[in-house]
Structure 1
């Protein structure tokens, strides 16, 4: 039977996993949510868009003969992660979560950890006057009612209203290095950074810059991972897949 793996993707780790599986001759399908207009496409087959909840995802797994699912979505993509748990369990398909570890503050960091964007907005009301907001396009409405703060909102694609009344938007895609981030903070007189705790290295430069310049950070912490096996790296994911579904030979990989 052909090994066929569905990677719920959109992250750099998901792309690396799809590339390595493809090089091994494994049939891999990467699923992207479609929220970014011009996404970086991984190797192998790609599908874009939702499945229609847990039921729709389960039907897809059966129809496409999926052997295993790797949830390598953004740590804050809680909806699709929850659907994957239900669909995999109901269809008897192996499920692995590939989630990079969250960032941790060092002794020189000034972090205010919060559990949600709504809580982050409340913290901004008390602390900020010129804020770099890097939490993505989703959830910006939580900040829309803050009228005494200037925001520099950085997203991959231009955000849609509602936005705070005093907002400048910046469309940019990582990786962002620390030197460029320091310049951005200085040039815009940023006195508060708001970020999701996404982990990884692509956007970590802003935290280094904030630490160096003494800029406080409002950090939205990750939700708990779904109830499934979790690994933090691509090599760990490959090893787990080998243990659970067997070696990637040309016979069962379809190559």
Structure 2
């Protein structure tokens, strides 16, 4: 059993992939962890919550759509009420879509922004309000991307959504510093998750590649020579959620194995 921190984290999009890895890592660090995903992911979410409990800490599984303000407010209050407080918010939930910009419909664009930008905004602000009321500071952490530092072909509206997260991270950090709240984001690269399997398949279809070929081509860009795992991301988020990062705020840090250098 990890040494208890007495702190409570909430991780959105936690039924699988990066969110699941973050939730389990924070549990191993000693946080009580509430996990969130959509109603359709309830079974997988419940499994993650049980895995967290097996680490010797408390958990709660809360379904909610992060693009809905009422749902997000209820999620934050439910997590804090069930587990005692809210000290770490990880706004991880997000979607991707591969399309040339000329083929992106207004509906495609609105859906991307609703989840990746509005969803982060709602999670950030709901968490900040709760943390300010508690009066003990906190850690707010968002899901950005290397696409928040460089726009990528065929991922134009996705890239735009991640640039927005980067800007919001900087603004929120400045506004909430007086309350002892730090705000940072993590920027993964090519990660072995269902999202990247989707990107690989869709880019492959557009460019006449077999499954796995697009991923292999992108992976040649990685200086460290291997595809990223969800645990690689979770290890960095552990730092952002800990006291070791108390003097760091407003940053969107690339954790990509060496693809983008800035």
TM-score (norm 2): 0.42
Give the strand-richer structure, 1 or 2.
1
Max Rg structure: 1
TM value normalised by structure 1 = 0.43
Higher helix share: 2
